Structure 1
Amino acid sequence: MKNMYVFDPHAVKRIIQRRLPVEAVVQIATFGVTVQESKKRCMKRGDVYGKPVHVVLMKPNTILTVYVADEWQSTITVQRSRRYFGALTSSTPPANRGYSITLGRRVPWVTSSTGGEDMACRHSDCIAKRNTWMHGTKHAMKRSDELRHLIFIGYKLDWSLHVEEREFQRAIPAWQSSQAFENGDCIHFTCIHNHGKTVAKWLWLGYAKVAPGVYRPLHLVIVSNGQNKRLTVATVYDPSQTSHMWDETYTVRLCWKHANT
């Protein structure tokens, strides 16, 4: 088959990491089942060596990324203990909830800094916030690797009391939050400067496998002040519950207003 596709460098990296045949990726891009589509993007699904593979395309013919949907091994494996009552700003260092690290492959989701503009909210407040917010989407994949490197060199991963409260309120089991962190990636990064202190903030998108072939998107907010070699998961939520705020991939913020405002 004649190759009529352009491969984004990110897609090339993922194909090499997952050792996927280029011909198989092209076959899926051409003949795969469309599972998600917008004006600018399309996601197609097929099988390679018996495993479900997703190919994300920017129309008309650019392959943006490729991932194996059932491949849930991660560069980080989270093991959560029952309870932690500290906070990032607490004067007492929070107790370690427990974590371990295993080297392996992670599942990426397409990280976009351009998609969703045609669906974006036109309210003046949202336009101003979106212009600022989009700056934080640049180099998001690099920020993913930086966070993983922090854990690799010894940073502790803590889960705040607030995130556990939100899990209960939003019907998100702890294992789903942990799994989403394990297979996720950064989609937005910012540094907040306050009273002479700098707090790094990652917005993380991952998926929890809730049934065969069914994956729940979750956003986690992870923060660190860089002073005590700790990362704290501050909160978690399901972006599909406020779908008007996000594009189809849940990577691009479209609106900052609640649906009833």
Structure 2
Amino acid sequence: MAVVERELDVFRMEKHRAFQERFLPLAEAAVEKIQEKLSRGDEVQILVTNHGSLRETERCIARRHILEVLESGYAIEYQGRCGRTMNALLLGYVKIGKGEYRPLHVAVSIDEGANTVYIKTAYDPRSRRWQWDENFERRILFQQ
């Protein structure tokens, strides 16, 4: 049984890596466009979903840290499309003290046509350390 589960994990990881190699550039481009608009001061609507707002409070994540990741973080996963929006997972390191930084993952949906970003959720990837590589940039294990 353990051998079958391990083979399934390896298959899922390889499938995920191939998917990311193919589609991550789309997420990177969408995030860069939004970041350029934000840096120029163009109007970009940033909305937080109810789920995102709840998790932000439960996980003690400051809204300014989420916005900081949106402004200066980078896409680490393409998570698909839903109609006009592209879903991506961003990683950024936010300052929490003198010389101290915290990794932060922020899941977003980007509607480039409407210049709108939906913040779906945010979390500290250290809470799922087993799921990520040492830099929290690449998923290495999947939940069953």
TM-score by length of 1: 0.45
Aligned equivalents of 2:97, 2:124: Cα separation in 1: 16
Deviations along 1:4-28, whole A, 9 cap, x unmatched? xxxxxxxxxxxxxxxxxxxxxxxxx
**Contact 2:30 2:112 (8 Å CA) reproduced:** no
Tell me the SS of whatever aligns to 2:141: coil
Question: Structure 2 CA distance, aligned partners of 1:168 and 1:246?
Answer: 23
Q: 1:155 to 1:131 in 2, by over 3 A?
A: farther
Give matches, 1:65-144, under 5 Å: 123-134=6-17, 135-137=19-21, 138-139=24-25, 141-144=28-31
Are 2:34 and 2:112, in contact at CA under 8 Å, matched by a contact in 1? no
Q: Tell me if the contact between 1:202 and 1:223 (Cα under 8 Å) persists in the aligned partners.
A: yes
Matched, 1:179 2:59: no
Alpha-carbon contact 1:221-1:234 (below 8 Å) kept: yes
Select the residue among 215, 219, 227 that pairs with 2:101.
Answer: 215
SS, match of residue 136 in structure 1: helix
Counterpart CA distance in 2 for 1:209 and 1:226 is 28
Identify, as 1 or 2, the structure richer in helix. 2
Higher Rg of the two aligned structures: 1
Q: What fraction of aligned residue pairs are identical, expressed as a percent?
A: 21
Unpaired runs of 5+ in structure 2?
Answer: none
| Pair 1:250-2:133 in alignment | no
Q: CA RMSD in A?
A: 2.6
> 1:150, CA displacement in angstroms?
5.5
TM-score by length of 2: 0.75
Any idea what SS the aligned residue of 1:222 has? strand
The answer as to whether partners of 1:143 and 1:189 remain within 8 angstroms in 2 is no
Secondary structure of 2:134 counterpart: coil
Deviation at 1:143, TM superposition (A): 4.2
Cα shift readout 1:202-251 (whole Å, capped 9, x = no counterpart):
21001111111111000001103455432101100110111010001110
Q: Which moved more, 1:217-226 or 1:122-131?
A: 122-131
1:178 shift after superposition: 2.4
After superposition, give the CA deviation of every residue in 1:80-119 in whole Å (9 maximum; x if it has no partner): xxxxxxxxxxxxxxxxxxxxxxxxxxxxxxxxxxxxxxxx
Give distance in 1, aligned partners of 2:20 and 2:30.
Answer: 10
Residues 127 and 208 from structure 1, CA distance in 2 versus in 1: closer, same or farther, beyond 3 angstroms? Answer: same
SS of the equivalent of 2:34 reads helix
Count of residues in correspondence between the two structures: 134
Q: How does 1:142-181 map to 2 (within 5 A)?
A: 142-149=29-36, 151=38, 154-181=43-70
